[in-house]
């Protein structure tokens, strides 16, 4: 009977997991995120650790199977893997990520579920595992619960504790709600009602944690919409650089022009003959150009004698460069390369031989601004962006989401970028090859956006900000300590005889 019941719970968990990404962009049914964790909490009651791990793994498989389905596009469309193989690899990736939920469920059933405060342990454990996903095996910090609240009244907790505190608030509301519906004790009902109410008071929190300087930076962002299938073909290099150059010369006037990630798909030495006229003209006009570009850094201690980087460079005036610090597995480097390189075309994607920089990267410096740079995937790392933005005037993230076409990825990526602006109280500029190109204000709201999937130039401005938010000052540490405290309190309140 219990085995049969566990199967039903696993199926419900799978469906709930698959529905959860509807709470995130582009769907934005954020109310769902306040319900589904509570349902999973109920499904895990009275299960053995093994059963709890199974049910949680099913939830995670549905969650990632829907939420990161966009991986299929890069494997099949641009990696030229057949449909069956691309589907199998995408599913395998989702099921692998779901193992974090399995371990979370096992730990909950093993040490916390028999406690009179099991809900507190469930909340603390979930937040801890979200944090683990930000660094384990280089990290996959995607689809944290708190991102769904970027357009909700609860969003104003983000400058205090980042997306982590929003995830904590989601879990408190969800678990307290289902507990309120199942308890009969009046005192417990009052306490649970208070727990539900407290996160909702975030609307009354201060909105201004950082200060405007009054210094306005005018910006033109060039979105050239270059086809991904042709971008790395050397025969098209002159044509594509000419497109960027002509759009810049004819459609921009701002003192700062931004091109997206690897807009220049070659080393500067190879691209310079096609850019010399543009760069000369910009120098004469005292205008700056920042572009994504691959670069080479000599390193005698590296096996190749050099390091190849995915970089963001200031190409005019007093030049400066930032090297990407978080690389995408299989996209920018191939794990166990000696065994996988060449097995299928997907493992030979362009840009898949990059290295990490030998030194810690700092802000990208203009004559008038210090910019916190984040290349593509890096914007998903809250702590990385926090550390860079603390000493910056505004944030710049460049990306090439063409790898994922019209999937869920661009909208999810944009939502993540908006959260970084809100957490750090800084204006944020997002430059992409085909969308979503936008300027985001310090409150996480989109101030201007270019039309997606077509060539465009987005003209706008950002304002330098000073000061730090509580999250910038203290990072994830307070939320982690609070989560650990809940786990410890829950553990000490276990029923006698429980293991």
- Note the pLDDT tens digit of each residue in 279-321: 999 999 999 999 999 998 887 666 667 788 999 999 998 889 9
498 found inside a domain: no
pLDDT tens digits, one per residue of 394-416: 999 999 988 887 899 999 999 99
Same domain, 162 and 241: no
* Catalytic choice (16, 58, 107, 376): 376
Same domain, 76 and 41: yes
Among residues 342, 350, 268, the alpha carbon closest in space to that of 312 is found at: 268
428 found inside a domain: yes
227 found inside a domain: yes
Cα separation of 418 and 396, whole Å? 12
- Phi and psi based region of residue 132 (left: phi greater than 0; alpha: psi -120 to 50; beta: remaining): alpha
**pLDDT attached to residue 332:** 59
Among residues 226, 284, 160, 163, the alpha carbon closest in space to that of 453 is found at: 226
458 found inside a domain: yes
Give the whole-number percent of the chain exceeding pLDDT 70: 92
**pLDDT attached to residue 68:** 94
Q: Is the pLDDT of residue 276 over 90?
A: yes
Same domain, 445 and 483: no
Same domain, 158 and 34: yes
* Catalytic choice (114, 231, 324, 464): 324
Same domain, 308 and 222: yes
Number of domains in the chain: 2
- Tell me which residue range forms the domain holding 97: 2-207+475-492
Same domain, 170 and 277: no
Question: For 464-490, what is the mean pLDDT?
Answer: 97
Same domain, 38 and 108: yes
* Catalytic choice (261, 332, 378, 423): 261
497 found inside a domain: no
Residue 324 a catalytic site member: yes
Question: For 255-282, what is the mean pLDDT?
Answer: 94
Residue 16 a catalytic site member: no
Distances (CA, A) of 340 to 96, 227, 300, 439: 18, 27, 26, 39
Same domain, 309 and 238: yes
295 found inside a domain: yes
What is the value of pTM for the model shown?
0.93
Same domain, 234 and 96: no
499 found inside a domain: no
Give the whole-number percent of the chain exceeding pLDDT 90: 74
Q: Is the pLDDT of residue 224 over 90?
A: yes
Same domain, 189 and 217: no
Same domain, 169 and 234: no
Same domain, 175 and 273: no
Give 74 or 329, the one with higher predicted confidence. Answer: 74
Question: For 309-335, what is the mean pLDDT?
Answer: 82
483 found inside a domain: yes
Q: What is the CATH number of the domain that holds 284?
A: 3.60.110.10
Residue 231 a catalytic site member: no
């Amino acid at each position: 009977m219990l085995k049969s019941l566990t199967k039903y719970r696993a199926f419900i968990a799978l469906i709930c997991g698959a529905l959860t990404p509807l709470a995130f962009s582009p769907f934005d049914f954020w109310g769902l995120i306040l319900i589904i964790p509570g349902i999973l909490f109920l499904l895990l009651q009275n299960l053995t650790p093994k059963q709890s791990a199974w049910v949680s793994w099913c939830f995670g498989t549905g969650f990632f199977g829907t939420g990161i389905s966009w991986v299929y596009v890069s494997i099949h469309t641009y990696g030229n893997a057949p449909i069956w193989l691309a589907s199998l690899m995408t599913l395998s990736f989702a099921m692998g990520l779901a193992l974090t939920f399995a371990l979370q469920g096992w730990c909950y059933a093993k040490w916390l579920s028999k406690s009179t405060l099991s809900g507190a342990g469930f909340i603390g454990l979930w937040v801890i595992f979200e944090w683990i996903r930000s660094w384990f095996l280089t990290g996959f910090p995607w689809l944290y619960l708190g991102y769904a609240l970027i357009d909700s009244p609860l969003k104003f907790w983000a400058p205090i504790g980042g997306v982590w505190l929003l995830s904590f608030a989601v879990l408190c509301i969800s678990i307290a709600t289902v507990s309120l519906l199942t308890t009969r004790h009046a005192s417990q009902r009052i306490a649970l009602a208070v727990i539900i109410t407290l996160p909702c008071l975030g609307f009354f929190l201060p909105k201004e944690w950082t200060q405007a300087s009054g210094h306005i930076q005018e910006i033109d962002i060039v979105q050239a919409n270059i086809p991904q299938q042709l971008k790395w073909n050397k025969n098209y290099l002159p044509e594509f650089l000419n497109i960027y150059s002509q759009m810049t010369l004819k459609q921009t006037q701002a003192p700062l022009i931004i091109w997206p990630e690897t807009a220049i798909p070659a080393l500067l030495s190879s691209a310079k003959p096609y850019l010399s006229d543009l760069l000369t003209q910009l120098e004469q006009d005292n205008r700056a150009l920042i572009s994504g570009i691959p670069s080479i850094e000599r390193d005698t201690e590296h096996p190749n004698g050099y390091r190849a980087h995915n970089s963001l460079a200031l190409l005019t005036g007093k030049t400066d460069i930032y090297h990407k610090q978080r690389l995408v597995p299989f996209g920018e480097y191939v794990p166990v390369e000696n065994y996988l390189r060449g097995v299928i075309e997907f493992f030979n994607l362009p840009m898949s031989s990059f290295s990490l920089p030998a030194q810690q990267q700092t802000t990208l410096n203009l004559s008038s601004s210090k910019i916190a740079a984040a290349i593509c995937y890096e914007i998903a790392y809250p702590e990385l962006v926090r550390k860079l933005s603390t000493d910056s005037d505004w944030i710049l993230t460049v990306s090439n989401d063409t790898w994922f076409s019209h999937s869920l990825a661009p909208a999810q990526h944009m939502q993540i970028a908006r959260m970084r602006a809100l957490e750090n109280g800084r204006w944020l500029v997002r430059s992409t090859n085909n969308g979503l190109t936008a300027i985001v204000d310090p409150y996480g709201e989109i101030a201007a956006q270019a039309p997606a999937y077509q060539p465009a130039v987005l003209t706008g401005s950002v304002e330098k900000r000073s000061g730090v938010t509580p999250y910038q000052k203290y990072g994830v540490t307070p939320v982690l300590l609070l989560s650990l405290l809940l786990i410890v309190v829950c553990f000490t309140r276990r029923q006698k005889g429980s293991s």
